[in-house]
Every structure is written in structure tokens, then in C-alpha cells.
Structure 1
Amino acid sequence: MRIGLIGAGAVAGYHIGATDSIVGAEVTAVCDLDESTARRAASLARDAAVFTDYRVMIDRADLDAVIVNTPHSLHLPMTVEAARAGLHVLVEKPMATSVADCDTMAAESAAAGVALAVGHIQHFLPDKVAAHELIASGEVGDVLMVRDHRSTDYRPGSRPGWFFSPEVAGGGALFNIGGHCLDRSVWFGGARAVEVSASTVRRFDSPVETDGSISLRLENGVGVSIAVLSDPPGRNDNLAIVCERGVIEADPRAGTSVQIDGHRRMVHEPGHDDIQHAFTAQLRDFIAVVGGAAPTVPLEHARHVVQLVLESYRSAATGAAVRVPEGADVIAAGVAGR
């Protein structure tokens, strides 16, 4: 598989590194508006061809697939153009900035007969995989409640400028970091969300929210509590899953542990290569999807994550809990939330 990487930003090295242990997969072209950034990434990929226009890369690079690793609002046009050119697409999360855009991406890919997958990396991180496997074993019983706390930094200047553009990023800390939390919390909760209550805060004179909290009620009755805090005293990335017979905690820095009746044990010890392992597993999954396998992360789930971010913004704006729309109402709500 000859892969073109569109966007050579923060996680480009992980995407390229994923091909090192996958026979037959290679990043053969890299595109970024900043040519020097593209060249640095290309040097990690055995001197892949360098482009500064993704359309030119799609037209000239003789590719089988692309990885879209760009600002959120660009996911739609880049995915659609790649699909129409007959290329399979792995697009970074969030899938898009509206539910309608998600539907367009899925429809265009299906019409072109190409595979589309969304890079929700949480499903491949070893600490989360270990927690999910423990729940699947039945040892701790059913999931009853999920609590997800994450820190981030949304001070202006702390990250590239596009993150602070509502039009380009779709929102702030909740769209970016909160998207990870919504993804994994709903995944562990085991059902779609039917009700959302949220609040947001803007600090540092930021044009987008810097902090926020989200409460979800899932269809199966599981309650979810999410908090995203910007620039707190300590870094935090802790997912706690309350089950019938024990509590699991998963943290990429601390590993995965479980406490059952007063006794704690480690389920996964953190490793220095856990993140690269996750990106490699994600690429393997994408290649399997190209071959006809079902994706680890269904498109419906990726779409639901976008929907929940938008519904969180609606709840924060109205100061009230909101019902998560279904069916035809979903597209209308997505467009209105842009």
C-alpha cells in the first residue's frame, strides 16, 4: 500500500513510524503547506516525495491511500477529493466539524467504492485495550458509570493558531481533547448517548472554549462525567470505569489497574512505545478495512462523537440538558451547530 500523508504536524512521525513494522505499507508522499515541515517528515519515510498542494499529490503521486492529518474543517474536502480519485482514506479525529459533513464523507467514499476509517486512537492505546479486554472477560461485571478527566493547554501561543479558530477547528478544547473523552467514554459505556448536559469556559482571552464539562446519559442507563481543564497544576489523563464488582482506572502514563473488594492489581504496565504501538495497530486495522474487514471504530461511532460535541455546545449555550437527536434530526442539528 502506497500511502500519502496530508499534513505533517505533531503526529506525522507516528503515522510514518507505523509503516516500519507493516510489510507492504509505505508512506511514499508527504504534503504540507510548509515545505520544510513536509521535508522533515519525508526524511522519516525513506525520502518520500514532497508536495505543498494535496491536490497535486493526489494527481501525481501514484498512491493507493491517504492519511488526512490536517485541521478539522479540511477533513471533508480532502476526504471527498481523495475518494473521488479512487484512494482509500484514514482521516484523523474528529471525523469532521458537522454531522452533515460526516454523512457526506461516508456517502462519497461508499459511492467511490473506497474504504474510509477514522483515527480514534483511544481504541488502540494499550492501556485502553487492556481495560476493555478486562471488561469483556466478565470479571468485573457490567459497566455502571464512567468518569473521564483530562488536562490540556489552550493558552494562546501554546499550540498552532488554527486550534483557536471556530471556523477551522470547529470549536476549542471540547472539540479537540473532549472528542477523545467522548469517544472512549461512550465506547466503554457500551451505548449511544441520549442526553447531554454541558458547560464551557473561555479563559486567556481565547476565541474558543478553554475548559469544559460534559455529562451524558447513555441509552443503557450508564452515566458519564467528563471534565477537560486547561493549564491545571498537574497533568491528568485518567479514565475511571465503575463496574458491578470493581473499578478500573486507565491512564497512558500510569497504566491500567483494577480494584476489586479492596485488592488492587495492575492490568497493564505503561511502556515507552505504547503510543507508537497504537498508531501501528490503527494502521493495521485500516489496511484490514481496505481488504473488506469491519473497522474497529465504526463510522457511526465517529459520527456520534461529532454529534455529541455539537450537542454539548448547544447545552452550554442554553444552560439546559438537551436530547440527542436521532434520524433525520441529526443532520439538521449538525448543520446548525457549525
Structure 2
Amino acid sequence: MRIGLIGAGAVADFHVAAARAIDGASITAVCDIDEKAAERAAATAPRATAFTDYRAMYASGLIDGVVVNTPHALHLPMVTEAARAGLHVLVEKPMATTLEDCDAMMAACVEADVALAVGHIQHFMPDKLAARDLIETAELGDVVLIRDYRSTDYRPGSRSGWFFSPQMAGGGALINIGGHCLDRSLWFGGGRAVEVFASTVNRFDSAVETDGNIAMRLDNGVGVSISVISDPPLRADSLLVVCERGVIVADPRAGTSVQVDGKRRVVREPRPDDIQSAFTAQMADFVAVANGAEPAVPLEHARHVVELVLASYRAAEIGGAVQLEGAAVGAAER
């Protein structure tokens, strides 16, 4: 499978290395509006061609699929045009900035008979997989409560300018970093959210929220609390899963541990290549989906994450809970 990469930013090297590690896959083209960035990333992939126009890359005949790693609002045109060009698509999270865009992307890929996968990397992180494996043994009983906390840095100048554009990013810390938290909290919670309450703060004179809290109730009764805090004195990335007979903590820096009846044990230690192994597993999943397999991250799950980000913004605006009625149905399933 010949893969093109749009966006030669921070995670481009992970995508290139992932393709190089998989039999039957390779990065054959890289596109970025910054020509030097495109050429740098292309140089890390043997025989890859650099582009500054994604449409030219689509028309080049050099690729069978594409990884869309661009500002959030650009996902819709890049995905739908890739579908029309007959290309399979892996689009980074968040899937889009509106539910209408999510539906249009799914419908375009169904109509063109090409594969669509959404890059929710948390589903492939080794510390999270170790926690999921432990839960599936039934040793701890059912999940009853989830608490998720991540630090970030949303000071202007700390990241590319588009992250601070409400139009281009669709929001701030909650749609970006909070998207990871919503993804993994729903995954471990095993249900869909039916009620959302949230609060947001715009610090540093930012046009988008820099910090936020989300509280959710899932349809199976599991309660979820999420906090995303910008520029705290200590960095954190901690997912705490309370089960009937024990508590699991999954943290990419500290690994995965569990406590049962006062006794703690380490389930998995962190390793230096954990992030790369996650990107490699995600790329392998994309190749499998292009060959007819079901994606590790269902499209409806990815759409629900976007739905919850938008519900969180509404809840923060009105200062009250937002109710979600049943399971939203994407265009591809109507």
C-alpha cells in the first residue's frame, strides 16, 4: 500500500517510521504547504516525493491511501476529495469540527467504496492496552467510575497559530487534548454519554479555551470526569479506572498499575518506544481496514467524540447539563 502523508509537523516522523516498519506499506509522498518541511519529511522515507499541493499529490498516481494530519477544519475537504480520487483515508482526530462534516466524510467514503479510519492513538497506546487486557480478564469486575486528567500548554506561542483559531481548530484544549480523554474514557467506560456538564476557561488572552472540565454520565451508569489544565507546575497524563474490585491507573510515563484490596502491582512498565509502537499499530490497523477489516476505532465512536466536544461547549455556555438523546446515527449507517 502506497501512502501519502499530508502535514509534515510534529507527528510526521512517527507516521513515516510506522509505514517503514510494516510489510506491504510505505510512505511514497509527503505534502505540506511549507516546502522545506515536506522535503525534510519525504527524505526520511525512501523514494518519497514532496508536494505542496495535496490535490497534486492525489492526482500523481503515486499513492493508494492518505494520512490526513492537518488543522481540524481542513479534514472535510481533504477526506472527501481523497475519496473521490479513490484513495483510502486515515484522518487524525478529531474526525471533524461538526457532526455534519463527520457525516459527509463517512458518506463520501461509502459512496467511493474506500476505507475510512480515524486516528485515535489512545486505542493503540501500550499502557492503555495493558489496562484494557486486565479489565477483560474480569478479575476486577465491571468498570463503575472513570477519572481522566491531562495537562497541556495552551499559551499563545506554545504551538502553531491555527490551534488558537476557533474557525480552524473548532475550539481549544477540549477539542484537541480533551478529544484524547473523551476517546479513552468512552472506550473504557463501555457506553455512550447521555448527559454532559462542562466548564471552560480562556486564559492568556486566548481566543479558544485553555482549560476545561467535563462531567459525563454514560448510558450504562458509569460516571466520567475529565480535566484538561494548561501550564500546571507538574505535567500529567493519568487515566484512573475504578472497577468493582480494584482500581487501575494507566499513564504513558509511569506505566500501568492496579491496586486490589490494599495491594498494588505493576501490570506494565513504560518503554522508550511506546509512542512509536502505538503509531505503528495504528498504521497496521489502517492497512488492514483498507484490505476489508473493521477498524479498531469504530467511526461512530469517533463521531460521538466530536458530538461530546460540541455538547461540552454548549454545556459550558449555558452553565447547565446537556442531554443527549440515544445513539446518534451517522450518514453512512442511515
TM-score (norm 1): 0.96
One-letter identity of the residue aligned with 1:62: L
Q: Secondary structure at the match of 1:60?
A: coil
One-letter identity of the residue aligned with 1:3: I
1:100 is aligned to 100
1:314 is aligned to 314
Instruction: Please state if 1:269 is matched with 2:269.
Output: yes
1:204 is aligned to 204
Give the conservation status (yes or no) of the 8 Å contact 2:192–2:327: no
TM-score (norm 2): 0.97
One-letter identity of the residue aligned with 1:242: V
Give the conservation status (yes or no) of the 8 Å contact 1:175–1:309: yes
RMSD: 1.2
Structure 1 segments, 4+ long, off by >6 Å, are 327-331
1:234 is aligned to 234
1:140 is aligned to 140
Quick one: distance in 2 between partners of 1:246 and 1:326?
30
* CA drift at 1:327: 6.2
Quick one: distance in 2 between partners of 1:324 and 1:86?
35
Instruction: Please state if 1:162 is matched with 2:162.
Output: yes
Q: Once structures 1 and 2 are overlaid, which stretch shifts more, 37-46 or 78-87? A: 37-46
Instruction: Please state if 1:32 is matched with 2:27.
Output: no
Quick one: distance in 2 between partners of 1:275 and 1:62?
28
Instruction: Please state if 1:16 is matched with 2:16.
Output: yes
Give the conservation status (yes or no) of the 8 Å contact 1:28–1:48: yes
Q: Secondary structure at the match of 2:133?
A: helix
Quick one: distance in 2 between partners of 1:328 and 1:43?
43
* CA drift at 1:325: 3.8
Quick one: distance in 2 between partners of 1:246 and 1:107?
42
Give the conservation status (yes or no) of the 8 Å contact 1:83–1:108: yes
Cα deviations across residues 113-171 of structure 1 (Å, max 9, x unaligned)? Answer: 00000000000000000000100110111000000000000000000000000000000
* CA drift at 1:61: 4.0
2:247 is aligned to 247
Give the conservation status (yes or no) of the 8 Å contact 1:29–1:61: no
Q: Secondary structure at the match of 1:209?
A: coil
* CA drift at 1:62: 2.3
Percent identical: 69
Quick one: distance in 2 between partners of 1:57 and 1:289?
22
Quick one: distance in 2 between partners of 1:324 and 1:47?
49
1:296 is aligned to 296
Quick one: distance in 2 between partners of 1:58 and 1:329?
30
1:191 is aligned to 191
Give the conservation status (yes or no) of the 8 Å contact 1:307–1:330: no
Unaligned ranges ≥5, structure 1: 332-338
Cα deviations across residues 24-58 of structure 1 (Å, max 9, x unaligned)? Answer: 10000000000011111111111410100000110
One-letter identity of the residue aligned with 1:273: D
One-letter identity of the residue aligned with 1:141: G
One-letter identity of the residue aligned with 2:15: H
Q: Secondary structure at the match of 2:229?
A: strand
Give the conservation status (yes or no) of the 8 Å contact 2:300–2:330: no
Figure out how many residues of one structure are paired with residues of the other and give that number: 331
Quick one: distance in 1 between partners of 2:121 and 2:4?
19
* CA drift at 1:63: 1.0
One-letter identity of the residue aligned with 2:94: P
Q: Secondary structure at the match of 2:59?
A: helix
Do the aligned partners of residues 57 and 164 (structure 1) sit closer, same or farther apart at CA in structure 2, a change above 3 Å counting?
A: same
Unaligned ranges ≥5, structure 2: none
Quick one: distance in 1 between partners of 2:54 and 2:136?
42
Give the conservation status (yes or no) of the 8 Å contact 1:15–1:280: yes
2:153 is aligned to 153
1:213 is aligned to 213
